[in-house]
Structure 1
Amino acid sequence: MIMINSTQVSYFTFGAYFDIGLFKYLLFTIIMCFYTVIVCANLLLIVVTCMNRNLHEPMYLFLCSLFVNELFGSTGLFPFLLVQILSDIHTVSASLCFLQIFCLYTYVNVQFYVLAAMSYDRYLAICYPLQYNTHMTSTKVTMLIALTWLFPLLAVVVLISLSSSLQLCGNRIDRLFCDNYSIVKLACSDTTVNNIYGLIYTFIVVLGLAIPIIYTYIRILKVCFSGSKQTRQKAVSTCTPHLASLINFSFGCFFEVIQSRFNMSSAPIMLRIFLSSYFLTCQPLFNPLIYGLNLTKISIMCKSFIFGKE
């Protein structure tokens, strides 16, 4: 088997696409509608948050960072999908493939980090309400938002640097979009460093994000059960959207792991397509809806912005 360095591969071919005839125009229209809704909804919430000083509070600033990330991740996926759906030849240049990996993996990582920061913010607001303003200063909020972007960016750059230096035995990716694990599976060279880096980073994420999130919600639940009715109502109203978003995104990532790590060739093609795109599609659609409807301040400001009412 001939080995070729990934820097010499000019393009990758996608094996997950199949001929659907004229139905591709309907699929194109549906996905275009999804993308338009995602862009308009997230952009609206970003503008509303930035323009209204009443929303310049830690919780809403973290939400604004979340919405920016969803625009970023969606732009890394949907335009690419739209081109591939209409194209008869499903290929992508190597450089564009790695750029897409950078966008999608950064989106996933930033999403988890922002959700973790939001958990910490809700923990302080509910468990230590009198000390909240002392603990959650503007400097600390700025630092947390910067870290939720900087650390994932650096981690993904290292990941792509390791993958792009591998020697490959082929250029066929059996996915709808570029995926780092699919490229690693094409490698003829030793992938030990890649595997070790992936395990270490996963371990760091679990210890640094998952465990603190679980801990904060255990503490919040204790306050809900032992506190007054007013405290419980405040906890439920502010934590329900965040918890729903976290669970939805976690399930989406779990579906993605199942899709990429296990052989699902026997599963129906539409199920595989759904599992592979769920975490990149549903979260950007889900978050603006649940936060816009459940958080009163955002809902009121959005109506005021759209209809021009005070």
Structure 2
Amino acid sequence: MLENNQQLFVALIGSLSLQKAEAGVCQGAIFSLSLVYYCVILFLNISLVVLIVWDENLHEPMYVLLCCVCINAVYGTTGFYPKFLLDLLSIAQEISYEWCLFQAFVMYSFACCELSILAVMAYDRYLAICRPLHYRLLMTKRRLSQLVSFSWLTPFCIFSISILLTSRLELCSLKIQRLLCVNWIIVQLACPGSNTLSNSIVSYATIFIYVSHGFFIIWTYMHLIRTCAASKDDRVKFMQTCVPHLISLITFLTVIVFDLMYMRFGSAGLPQSLQNFIAIEFLVFPPMMNPLIYGFKLTKIRNRVLSLIDLRGR
């Protein structure tokens, strides 16, 4: 084992692997853009969380779940951007084994929490539109708390086990050809003959659990579409509350599935800069898009924001 795995992984940032004369300018530009982008993500998501917490009119399940999405975005992006920004200011891009495992835990739990919360949001919309008379009875504060707790605790428990199993592997390589640490890449660094069966079992069990989330979301939308097709009022509700959810869901699933497929089956012949972009898509688009989409589309939030802007203008 690599001296009890205390060495540094070398995270190769291909887009920054330029000639020394050009590297400083490139790194400076990427650092500035990344810092601004990260600050905007924090501002948008934290602002929406504060607005929902502060305004009692927004203390409804749909907005509470949106608050959870924004908190999760802050959690996930904070697991990547600060370290990435530090790397851009460093000559060598390195990360300790312990921090690499921790980052892998944050990335996986962030992604799975996002999907779980989106599944709960789909269930909430299904109850609100398809079973409106039973909505208050079924979506109580206690039920909402249980669903949110499930969305957070399940990924944390699963990936705690997964990272613990990975930490027991004997590694024979130090180089990670990605901008961030992910569990599957670390497992691939294991020495030949290492027992990775437990890691594979946990991995496939996780895939089964979250693919089941996907099928559940499809089931809810089949009912939603069928219900809304027969009612003009329900179609209005669908356009106002379900369309933002669908955009968030499709965006998130597209970037996650694309990254997973590339990580498992992709070609190493692609330019390193393109590989880097593929690796962090899920940390670029959903955290920025979600607060903007919901902020513009949900009437209560949009009106509240406009009223605050009007008060400031006076």
TM-score, normalised to structure 1, is 0.95
- Aligned pairs for 1:156-235 (under 5 A) are 156-188=159-191, 189-207=194-212, 209-227=213-231, 229-235=232-238
CA distance in 2, matches of 1:33, 1:306: 23
CA distance in 2, matches of 1:299, 1:185: 47
- Aligned pairs for 1:5-16 (under 5 A) are 7-16=4-13
**Identical amino acids, percent of aligned pairs:** 37
CA distance in 2, matches of 1:7, 1:66: 37
Structure 2 match to 1:96: 99
CA distance in 2, matches of 1:92, 1:220: 46
Matching of residue 281 in structure 1 with residue 298 in structure 2 = no
SS in 2 for 1:151: helix
C-alpha displacement at 1:304, in angstroms?
A: 3.2
CA distance in 2, matches of 1:289, 1:211: 27
CA distance in 1, matches of 2:310, 2:106: 34
AA in 1 matched with 2:37: F
C-alpha displacement at 1:5, in angstroms?
A: 5.1
C-alpha displacement at 1:269, in angstroms?
A: 2.6
- Aligned pairs for 1:147-162 (under 5 A) are 147-162=150-165
CA distance in 1, matches of 2:2, 2:137: 54
CA distance in 2, matches of 1:39, 1:306: 19
CA distance in 1, matches of 2:164, 2:130: 42
C-alpha displacement at 1:264, in angstroms?
A: 2.3
Distance 1:10 1:270, change over 3 A: closer
AA in 2 matched with 1:200: A
C-alpha displacement at 1:254, in angstroms?
A: 1.3
AA in 2 matched with 1:10: Q
Once the two structures are superposed, residues 206-235 of structure 1 have per-residue CA deviations (whole angstroms, 9 ceiling, x without a partner) of 12x1111000000000011122x1211111
CA distance in 2, matches of 1:166, 1:293: 47
SS in 1 for 2:80: helix
CA distance in 2, matches of 1:62, 1:53: 15
Matching of residue 132 in structure 1 with residue 106 in structure 2 = no
Which residue of the other structure, out of 88, 107, 111, is the alignment partner of 1:108?
Answer: 111
C-alpha displacement at 1:303, in angstroms?
A: 3.0
Structure 1 match to 2:267: 264
Matching of residue 145 in structure 1 with residue 148 in structure 2 = yes
Structure 2 match to 1:242: 245
Distance 1:21 1:195, change over 3 A: same
Once the two structures are superposed, residues 28-53 of structure 1 have per-residue CA deviations (whole angstroms, 9 ceiling, x without a partner) of 11111110100000000000000000
Which residue of the other structure, out of 118, 122, 133, is the alignment partner of 2:121?
Answer: 118
Q: 2:13, 2:93 within 8 Å by CA — same for their partners in 1?
A: no
* Aligned length in residues: 305
CA distance in 2, matches of 1:140, 1:112: 18
CA distance in 1, matches of 2:6, 2:305: 48
Q: 2:105, 2:159 within 8 Å by CA — same for their partners in 1?
A: yes
User: What is the RMSD of the two structures over their aligned residues, measured on CA atoms?
Assistant: 1.5
Structure 1: 5+ residue stretches without partners: none
CA distance in 2, matches of 1:89, 1:35: 22
